[in-house]
Amino acid sequence: MRIKSGYLMKEIAKNHVVVPTGKAALDFSGMMTLNETGAFLWRQLEAGTTESELVASLLKDYDTNETTARADISEFLTKLKTADLFE
């Protein structure tokens, strides 16, 4: 999985904001804010990480269990798919 080109995550005043650039700005109106975990997952997805790799990364870097990690990642990916942010 990979984030579509034309979307950048920026940190503004300690908030993580996803903004469209170029042609993507014509298709996506608005912006998306991410919490710390969402920003962590976004960075992983920019590198083309699989869902299993996301789970492993989250378990390594955060104090959570596999069931919670999988549920949270699934919810996050669903939101990104709904917003059509995957290539």
At 36 the pLDDT is 94
Asked if 33 and 16 count as a contact pair (C-beta separation under 8 A), the reply is yes
Q: Give the closest residue to 86 by CA, choosing from 12, 28, 34.
A: 28
Instruction: Provide the 8-state DSSP code for 15.
Output: E
At 81 the pLDDT is 92
At 31 the pLDDT is 77
At 25 the pLDDT is 83
Greater model confidence, 83 or 67? 67
What's the average model confidence in pLDDT over 58-66?
96
Provide the whole-model pTM. Answer: 0.88
pLDDT tens per residue, range 27-60: 777 778 999 999 999 999 999 999 999 999 999 9
What is d(CA 23, CA 4) in angstroms, rounded to the nearest whole number?
11
